[in-house]
């Protein structure tokens, strides 16, 4: 068959429409005018920059401020992996150059270059990590394009972006005479026309990944429900809110460390108020009378030990003790506690003869008011300290008589105000504040013991509910042996009773320099660090394993701004409060000059009107709290 024959039989194709070229189908501006430092793209002006300098240390989501910039800003991140063998060879050569330069400086008597030393250490660390397979190296290019509607507006936007980048310790260089290449490098084309790159390792690249967020991640990443917890504040690295739930952690304890005036009490009061709305019962040990206004505002019970007519009777048996008589003997446990109480009251350990006399006197004092080992008698009125003194005198032994004589200052003497009668206020309710400020120094220790015993018995009561025990100015409590024992026991055992211990202190040395303090820190899943004093900053950084960036942040953090450490996650936040919350929580003397009673800024009638006018107000109103006494014989402190 000839080719000519085939050619003669060929038909001409039917006329069709010319196919649209791929380039013509892509969206494009109507015109692009190229200037040395910017472009005019249609009606918009654009200027591109390449990032050439990076901070030495960054955290997760450090690019978030650029990604959430309120103006129009394109951020392009170009990543190219480096082969492991090539990376290892280049690192070897780099280390060899650093070492040769170091030796040359040493031979010529020159001072060591700190930048070269730091670079050599980084190169050595990267080489070992690469050899162990812990990471890889990448070439990374970071480019920015700023848009505006005019040249003047573009200059303003460029200045704002440069200021933001300088705050992130980024060095930006304009793509002068390469404005078109800079713009195309920021378009979603995958083309890096600038090729100004830096070498990143895996960890550094992961922290720069655009989808990495500085916010706290949920415990279950697949859970799409709204976050549960309370508002701690605004994320200092993004525009998000820090909503945290201490009850979802391994344990419910927390520790707040800050210097005086850094806002630790203000933040703690905000957490207490917001916890009350979630139905958490809060018990506060207040050594400095900082929570009286909070108790008045929230309708809580306020017990001011040391004030006239305010007493806690150490002989009181827990209410409902007869209902658990088969499990424990409340009378015996209270008698054991009274041994500790008397030792603390007298400030000395008792000898064997005195302890025996005391034991007989305690049981005799209970028997004198009709309380015996029969559980049916445990609901009767308990004796007081003067009844114990009378029982000791009735024994007639030298040890008992001597012990009764040493109790006279607390029964009929000048210090009898705290023990000369039955309990005046039974602690109960959703919020309880135990103030220790007005206790005399001679009674501070024993008053603290009574408060801690009362708190612990409520924590270990039969009714299981979320309870938060707040110990403010814990350094004062930790100076007392019994107070220190209480903190340690609460830190280790509170979780079993669905309770959390919140320790607040400004004396970092007392917390971190003792075994007890370190145990309290180790048993706190939630750690909140506000601004630290320069003298304590090194100890805090070592104890909490802070990075250099976190250390510098805590050294200069504004009031109310701090670092929340929850397990492996850390987030910087700034506490925020409404006007009402601020009025209750503030301790600034300037704000309290004209302050009167809390009722002056809390009007029940206004609250009632707001409730009537808003059908959804139940979602934010305070829940109904139980006011029953929650004591239980199983909850004895000792």
Residue 30 confidence (pLDDT) above 90: no
- Coil vs helix vs strand at 542: helix
Same domain, 571 and 586: yes
- What is the Cβ-side half-sphere exposure of residue 11, based on CA atoms within 13 angstroms? 3
Highest mean pLDDT among 16-20, 57-61, 67-71, 244-248: 244-248
Same domain, 411 and 532: no
Q: What is the mean pLDDT of residues 133-152?
A: 90
Enter the DSSP assignment of 140: E
- pLDDT tens, 220-238? 555 556 667 888 888 887 7
Among 387, 422, 457, the domain boundary falls at: 422
Q: What is the mean pLDDT of the chain?
A: 79
Enter the DSSP assignment of 75: E
Among 372, 407, 422, the domain boundary falls at: 422
The CATH number that applies at residue 245 is 3.40.50.300
Band of the pLDDT at 604, cuts 50, 70, 90?
Answer: very low
| pLDDT cut 70: percent of the chain above it | 83
Nearest residue to 506 via CA among 286, 266, 269, 259: 259
Residue 297: how many other CB atoms lie within 10 Å: 21
Give me the pLDDT at residue 3, please: 32
Give me the pLDDT at residue 88, please: 82
In a domain, 458, yes or no: yes
Q: What is the mean pLDDT of residues 420-429?
A: 80
The CATH number that applies at residue 410 is 1.10.8.730
In a domain, 45, yes or no: yes
Among 388, 422, 456, the domain boundary falls at: 422
In a domain, 627, yes or no: no
Dist CA 236 CA 558 (whole Å): 11
Same domain, 374 and 512: no
Q: What is the mean pLDDT of residues 227-255?
A: 84
Same domain, 457 and 345: no
- pLDDT tens, 31-65? 889 999 999 998 899 999 999 988 877 777 788 78
- Coil vs helix vs strand at 209: coil
- What is the Cβ-side half-sphere exposure of residue 510, based on CA atoms within 13 angstroms? 17
Q: Which of 168-177, 254-263, 328-337, 429-438 has the lowest mean pLDDT?
A: 328-337
Same domain, 291 and 329: no
Give me the pLDDT at residue 142, please: 94
* CB distance 526 to 254 below 8 Å: yes
Range of the domain at 371: 313-422
Band of the pLDDT at 631, cuts 50, 70, 90?
Answer: very low
Band of the pLDDT at 603, cuts 50, 70, 90?
Answer: very low
* CB distance 282 to 246 below 8 Å: no
In a domain, 595, yes or no: no
Q: How far is CA 505 from CA 263, 494, 635, in A?
A: 11, 19, 26
Same domain, 384 and 488: no
- Coil vs helix vs strand at 617: helix
Same domain, 318 and 450: no
Q: What is the mean pLDDT of residues 92-96?
A: 84
Residue ranges in 523-638 assigned as alpha helix (H): 534-544, 548-556, 579-585, 604-613
Band of the pLDDT at 621, cuts 50, 70, 90?
Answer: very low
Q: How far is CA 365 from CA 370, 379, 390, in A?
A: 9, 15, 8
Same domain, 49 and 193: yes
In a domain, 41, yes or no: yes
How many structural domains does the chain have? Answer: 3
pTM: 0.63
In a domain, 393, yes or no: yes
Residue ranges in 396-473 assigned as alpha helix (H): 398-411, 444-459
- What is the Cβ-side half-sphere exposure of residue 84, based on CA atoms within 13 angstroms? 10
Same domain, 488 and 524: yes
Same domain, 407 and 430: no
- pLDDT tens, 461-495? 778 889 999 988 777 777 767 677 778 888 888 88
The sign of the dihedral angle between the CA atoms of 167, 172, 174, 180 is: negative
Same domain, 292 and 188: no
* CB distance 54 to 172 below 8 Å: no
Residue 522 confidence (pLDDT) above 90: no
In a domain, 252, yes or no: yes
- Coil vs helix vs strand at 504: strand
Same domain, 67 and 195: yes
In a domain, 413, yes or no: yes
Highest mean pLDDT among 176-180, 378-382, 505-509: 176-180
């Amino acid at each position: 068959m000839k080719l000519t024959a085939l050619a003669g039989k060929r038909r001409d194709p039917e006329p069709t429409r010319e196919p649209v070229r791929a380039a013509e189908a892509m969206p494009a501006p109507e015109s692009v005018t190229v200037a040395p430092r910017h472009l005019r793209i249609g009606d918009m002006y654009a200027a591109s920059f390449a990032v050439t300098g990076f901070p030495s240390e960054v955290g997760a989501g450090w690019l978030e401020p650029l990604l959430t910039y309120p103006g129009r800003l394109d951020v392009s991140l170009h990543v190219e992996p480096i082969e492991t063998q090539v990376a290892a060879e280049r690192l070897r050569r780099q280390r060899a150059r650093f070492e040769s330069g170091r030796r040359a400086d040493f031979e010529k008597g020159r001072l060591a270059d700190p930048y070269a030393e730091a670079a050599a250490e980084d190169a050595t660390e990267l080489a070992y990590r690469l050899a162990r397979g812990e990471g890889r190296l990448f070439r990374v290019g970071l480019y920015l394009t700023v848009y505006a509607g005019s040249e003047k507006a573009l200059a303003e936007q460029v200045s704002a972006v440069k200021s933001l980048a300088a705050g992130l310790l980024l060095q930006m260089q304009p793509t002068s005479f390469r404005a078109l290449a800079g713009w195309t490098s920021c378009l979603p084309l995958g083309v890096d026309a600038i090729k100004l790159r830096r070498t990143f390792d895996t960890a550094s690249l992961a922290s720069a990944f655009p989808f990495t967020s500085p916010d706290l991640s949920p415990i279950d990443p697949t859970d799409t429900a709204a976050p549960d917890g309370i508002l701690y504040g605004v994320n200092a690295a993004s525009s998000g809110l820090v909503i945290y739930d201490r009850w979802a952690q391994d344990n419910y304890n927390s520790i707040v460390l800050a210097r005086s005036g850094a806002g630790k009490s203000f933040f703690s009061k905000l957490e207490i108020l917001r916890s009350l709305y979630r139905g958490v019962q809060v018990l506060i040990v207040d050594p400095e009378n900082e929570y009286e206004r909070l108790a008045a505002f929230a309708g809580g019970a306020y017990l001011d030990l040391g004030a006239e007519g305010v007493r806690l009777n150490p002989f009181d048996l827990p209410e409902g003790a007869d209902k658990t008589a088969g499990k424990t003997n409340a009378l015996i446990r209270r008698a054991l506690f009274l041994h500790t109480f008397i030792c603390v009251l007298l400030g000395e350990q008792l000898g064997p003869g005195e302890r025996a006399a005391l034991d007989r006197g305690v049981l005799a004092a209970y028997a004198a008011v009709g309380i015996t080992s029969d559980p049916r008698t445990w609901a009767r009125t308990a004796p007081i300290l003067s009844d114990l003194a009378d029982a000791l005198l009735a024994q007639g032994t030298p040890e008992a008589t001597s012990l009764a004589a040493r109790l006279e200052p607390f029964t009929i003497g000048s210090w009898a105000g705290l023990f000369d009668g039955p309990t005046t206020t039974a602690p109960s309710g959703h919020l309880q504040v135990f103030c220790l400020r007005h206790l005399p120094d001679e009674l501070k220790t024993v008053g603290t013991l009574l408060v801690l015993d009362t708190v612990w018995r409520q924590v270990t009561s039969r009714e299981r509910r979320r309870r938060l025990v707040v110990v403010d100015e814990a350094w004062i409590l930790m100076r007392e042996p019994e107070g220190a024992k209480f903190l340690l026991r609460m830190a280790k055992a509170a979780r079993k009773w669905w309770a959390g211990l919140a320790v607040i202190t400004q004396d970092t040395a007392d917390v971190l320099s003792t075994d007890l303090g370190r145990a309290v820190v180790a048993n706190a899943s939630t750690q909140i660090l506000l601004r630290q004093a320069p003298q304590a900053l090194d100890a805090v950084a070592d104890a909490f394993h802070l990075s250099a960036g976190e250390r510098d942040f805590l050294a200069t953090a504004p009031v109310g701004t701090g670092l929340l450490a929850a397990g492996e996650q850390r987030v910087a936040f700034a506490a925020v409060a409404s006007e009402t919350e601020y009025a209750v929580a503030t301790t600034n003397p300037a704000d309290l000059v004209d302050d009167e009673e809390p009722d002056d800024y809390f009007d029940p009638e206004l609250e009632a009107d707001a409730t009537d006018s808003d059908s959804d107000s139940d979602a934010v109103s305070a829940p109904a709290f139980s006011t029953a006494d929650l004591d239980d014989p199983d909850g004895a402190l000792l």
